[in-house]
Amino acid sequence: MKKINDSQNKMKRALSNRQVQLIAIGGTIGTGLFLGSSRSIALTGPSIMLVYFVAGIFMFMLTRAMGEMLYMDPSQHTFINFITKYLGRPFGFFSGWTYWLSIIFMGMSELTAVGIYFQFWFPKLPMWLIQLAFLLVIMSINLITVKFFGEAEFWFAMIKISAILALILTGIFMLAVHFKTPVGYAGLSNITTAFQFFPNGWTKFVMAFPMVFFAYQGIEFVGITTSETKNPRKVLPRAINQIIFRILIFYIGALLAIMVIYPWRSLDPQQSPFVWVFKLLGISWAAGLINFVVLTAAASALNSVLYSAGRHLYQLALDSSGSFKHHFAVISQKSVPARAICFSALTVAISPIIYVIPSVQDAFSVIASVSSGAYLLIYILTLCAHRKYIDSPDYLPDGFLMPKAKIFDPLTIAFMCFILLSMLFQSSTRPAVIGTVVWIVVFGSYSLAKHKN
Pairwise pLDDT comparison (419 vs 4), residue with the higher score: 419
Residue environment code for 368-404, b if the CB has 16+ CB neighbours within 10 A, otherwise e: bbbbbbbbbbbbbbbbbbbbebbeeebeeeebbbbee
Helix (H, G, I), strand (E, B) or coil at 10: coil
CA distances from 277 to 29, 176, 398, 415 (A): 19, 15, 48, 34
Q: Is the pLDDT of residue 347 over 80?
A: yes
Which pLDDT value is given to residue 248?
81
For 329, which DSSP code? S
Q: Is the pLDDT of residue 101 over 50?
A: yes
CA 150 to chain CA centroid, nearest Å: 17
Of 321, 305, 309, 330, give the one whose Cα is nearest residue 89: 321
CA distance 450 to 393: 28
If DSSP codes are grouped into helix, strand and coil, which group holds residue 200? coil
Contacts of 396 (CB under 8 A, 6+ apart): 1, 2, 68, 71, 72
Rounded alpha-carbon distances, angstroms, from residue 443 to 12, 62, 308, 423: 34, 24, 22, 21
Q: What is the pLDDT of residue 47?
A: 93
276 contact partners, CB below 8 Å, separation of at least 6: 262, 268, 286
- Higher pLDDT, residue 240 or 7: 240
Arithmetic mean of pLDDT, 421-445 = 87
The answer to whether 437 touches 377, Cβ cutoff 8 Å, is no
Rg of the chain taking only CA atoms, in angstroms: 22
Q: What angle do CA 245, 389, 29 make, to 5 degrees?
A: 25
Higher pLDDT, 343 or 16: 343
- Cα(235)–Cα(20) distance, integer angstroms: 8
Q: Say which amino acid occupies 337.
A: P
- What's the pLDDT at 10? 66
Residue 416: pLDDT band (50, 70, 90) is very high
Rounded (to 5) percent helix, strand, coil in the chain: 75, 0, 25
Give one word for 378, left, alpha or beta, with left for phi > 0 and alpha for psi -120 to 50. alpha
Task: Note the pLDDT of residue 343.
Answer: 95
Using CA atoms, how far apart are residues 436 and 442, in angstroms rounded to an integer? 10
Could you give the C-alpha distances from 225 to 58, 62, 68, 180, in angstroms and in order? Answer: 21, 16, 14, 46
Nearest to 97 by CA among 432, 388, 371: 371
Average pLDDT, the chain: 86
Of 210, 213, 215, 221, the C-alpha closest to 27 is: 221
Q: At what angle do helices 273-280 and 286-318 cross, to 10 degrees?
A: 150
Distance CA 161, CA 152 (A): 14
Share of the chain above pLDDT 90, in %: 32
Per the CB < 8 A criterion, the answer to whether 31 and 225 are in contact is: no
Mean pLDDT for 349-365 is 69
Judged against a pLDDT cut of 50, whether residue 315 lies above it is answered with yes
**Rounded percentage of the chain residues whose pLDDT exceeds 70:** 94
Question: Does 372 score more than 80 pLDDT?
Answer: no
Count CB atoms within 10 A of the CB of residue 449: 9
Mean pLDDT of 373-382: 90
Q: For residue 48, is pLDDT > 60?
A: yes
Choose among 155, 168, 166: nearest CA to 26: 155
Residue 447 or 282, more confident: 447
Spatial distance between the Cα atoms of 309 and 103, rounded to a whole number of angstroms: 6
Q: What's the pLDDT at 119?
A: 85
What mean pLDDT is predicted for residues 400-411? 94
Return the number of other C-beta atoms located less than 10 Å from residue 117's C-beta. 23
pTM exceeding the 0.85 threshold for the entire prediction: yes
17-450 domain in CATH 1.20.1740.10?
yes
CA distance linking residue 84 with residue 87, whole number of Å: 6
- Provide mean pLDDT across the span 98-121: 86
Q: 7 pLDDT band (50/70/90 cuts)?
A: very low
Residues 6+ apart with CB under 8 A from 445: none
Closest CA to 94 of 446, 453, 452: 446
